[in-house]
Structure 1
Amino acid sequence: MAGIVGTAGRWVVATRINDDWALLVVNVVGCGLIGWAVARAGRFHAQRHPRPGSHGAPGSPAVPSPWLTAGFCGALTSMSALALQLARLLDDGRVGTAGAWLGLTVAACTAAYVAGRAAALVQGPRP
């Protein structure tokens, strides 16, 4: 179900914005949500299990919701579409443009992930 919702979200964005920019938008939004989910899971895990290893193997990591991360964000984002976009640009001899898209995507997705983590860490405790 999460994959269907993520795919529908990507389709909505793609029908409203130029395809190249839509791909960037959904990848950035997905990375931000994953950053938020990872930090939120870690924060919730630390609140429920304050001692290292108190819920299984010592130092076991908190796992974010697979519904949100793998399901929704996995269907929303698309690294394969980015690879195709870059391949088309390279085939057209637009090496500089391909490099710019790649750099912009990596920088924007990294910034979104960090911002998502920061947003989760400044929120109040989870009920």
Structure 2
Amino acid sequence: MVRRVAATVAAAGIVGAGIRWGVATQVNENWALFIVNVIGCGVVGWATARHEGIRLHRHARYGPSPAGGREAGPSPWLTAGFCGALTSMSALALQLAQHLDDGRIGTAGAWLGLAIAACTAAFVGCRVVVVARWRQS
């Protein structure tokens, strides 16, 4: 079982890294990092909300889980594998450090603010969409 999970996480990581590379070949590296980080945050928002909906549905239908309500989180292949390889906080930190080293404090602040706002909006927005669908069904 552990090998299967590790293999799916690795395969998803390859896909995430491939997409990140593909985006980086098409746009400026600063914008590529921004785009993949926003996409990754949206995917994690969707995955965590979907997992929570499934957990609540099971709980309502079958009662609490035998593990005392503690269940595994969203799929590790999607969150750790795909999104882990797709996104990069460390690359954002390096990008900001380069702007600061070049004396572009305003640019560093703008990139940081934009990244935080956009990534948060993607995460929350995707969760809201999933939650709205639960309530409709």
The normalised TM-score by structure 2 is 0.84
Partner of 1:13: 23
Aligned-pair identity (%) = 63
- Aligned residue type for 2:129: A
Q: How far off its partner does 1:54 sit? A: 1.2
Partner of 1:28: 38
- Judging by fraction of residues, say which structure has more helix: 2
Q: Does 1:99 find its partner at 2:109?
A: yes
Residues 97-126 of structure 1 deviation map (CA, whole Å, 9 limit, x = unaligned) = 00000000000000000011012223369x
3-state SS of paired residue (2:60): coil
Q: How far off its partner does 1:57 sit? A: 4.5
Aligned residues: 125
Compared with structure 1, are the counterparts of its residues 61 and 106 closer, same or farther at alpha carbon in structure 2 (3 Å cutoff)? farther
Q: Whole-Å Cα distance in 1 between the matches of residues 43 and 82 of structure 2?
A: 10
Q: How far off its partner does 1:56 sit? A: 3.4
Q: Whole-Å Cα distance in 1 between the matches of residues 119 and 106 of structure 2?
A: 20
Q: Does 1:74 find its partner at 2:120?
A: no
* Runs of 5+ consecutive residues of structure 1 not aligned to the other structure: none
Q: Whole-Å Cα distance in 1 between the matches of residues 72 and 125 of structure 2?
A: 19
Divergent runs of 4+, >4 A: none
* Runs of 5+ consecutive residues of structure 2 not aligned to the other structure: 1-10
Q: Whole-Å Cα distance in 2 between the matches of residues 49 and 57 of structure 1?
A: 12
Choose 42-51 or 72-81, whichever is displaced more. 42-51
Q: Whole-Å Cα distance in 2 between the matches of residues 75 and 81 of structure 1?
A: 12
Q: Whole-Å Cα distance in 2 between the matches of residues 124 and 107 of structure 1?
A: 26
The normalised TM-score by structure 1 is 0.90
- Aligned residues: CA RMSD: 2.0
